[in-house]
């Protein structure tokens, strides 16, 4: 199987208000540090484009990492149907390559100090004048 069939290009969409606002930019900064992800670019604040090597990671695992990191993925019916079809085809393709299922993460990805500093600029509230210890902050 050549590399053009192994490298997948997908869109991942997000939903609803998020405390970071632009989820796509933060998710891209996070995703590029996962093994197998070759590129990640925000399309708009609610959608990112990602390229990954199917031999190393699949969409199901990538989405699970994003969920564990706190990103709010789109759960609309049309998106669920599209994702189910993609996951089924990737599962079959990995089986044909003799790889089996992707191992699902059971805890959040722990970035290194270098990766964490690259992601921190997306997690700060720009121009926020509220106290950092405000217990209601995560509802905004």
Residue with tokens 């390229």: 51
The answer, as to whether pTM is greater than 0.75, is no
pLDDT by residue (tens digit) across 14-45?
A: 987 666 678 899 899 999 999 899 999 999 98
In the chain, the domains with their CATH numbers are 3-105 (3.30.70.100)
Q: Are 49 and 41 in contact (CB under 8 A)?
A: yes
pLDDT above 90 coverage of the chain, percent: 50
Residue 116's region, left for phi above 0, alpha for psi from -120 to 50, else beta, is alpha
């Amino acid at each position: 199987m050549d590399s053009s069939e192994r490298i997948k290009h997908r869109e991942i969409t997000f939903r609803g208000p998020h405390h970071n606002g632009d989820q796509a930019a933060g998710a891209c900064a996070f995703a590029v540090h996962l093994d197998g992800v070759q590129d990640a670019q925000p399309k708009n604040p609610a959608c990112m484009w990602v390229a990954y090597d199917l031999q190393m990671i699949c969409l199901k695992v990538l989405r699970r990492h994003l969920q564990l990191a706190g990103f709010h993925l789109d759960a609309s019916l049309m998106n669920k149907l599209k994702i189910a079809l993609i996951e089924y085809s990737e599962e079959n393709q990995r089986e044909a390559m003799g790889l089996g299922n992707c191992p699902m993460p059971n805890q959040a990805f722990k970035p290194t100090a270098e990766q964490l500093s690259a992601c921190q600029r997306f997690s700060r509230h720009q121009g926020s004048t509220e106290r950092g210890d405000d217990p209601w902050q995560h509802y905004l």
